[in-house]
Amino acid sequence: MSEREWRFYITDMVGFCEKVLAFTQGLQQAQFVADAMRFDATVRNLELVGEAASHIPQDVRNAHPTIPWRMLIATRNQLIHGYLGLDNDILWSIVQTDVPVLLQQLKLLASEEI
């Protein structure tokens, strides 16, 4: 995969993270869980983050070890395949704590010179 191609995935990941934050902005956890449309849209975008991460070449992942690539992919797999076992507390923690940090890391990676 060319560098240009994998950078498209990074750009997509930034967009997915921004959507997650927009969908949950100003909400408390109970409001988020009660709003089925926002909840589902958020879960879907988290899945897409993990799917895009799985397309990033290993050498790029190795060069950016602060981005939790394996965790992103594992989270995607859990969301896709473990839907009956979603833990709302963990999901909310990901949205509130992990996604903002990830978004900054991805923006930094996206801004690096080719």
Told to judge if 55 belongs to the known catalytic residues of this protein, a careful annotator would answer: no
Told to judge if 70 belongs to the known catalytic residues of this protein, a careful annotator would answer: no
Distance set, CA 26 to CA 29, 62, 84, 112 (Å): 10, 35, 27, 31
Q: Which listed residue (4, 7, 61, 76) is catalytic?
A: 76
Active site residues: 76, 81
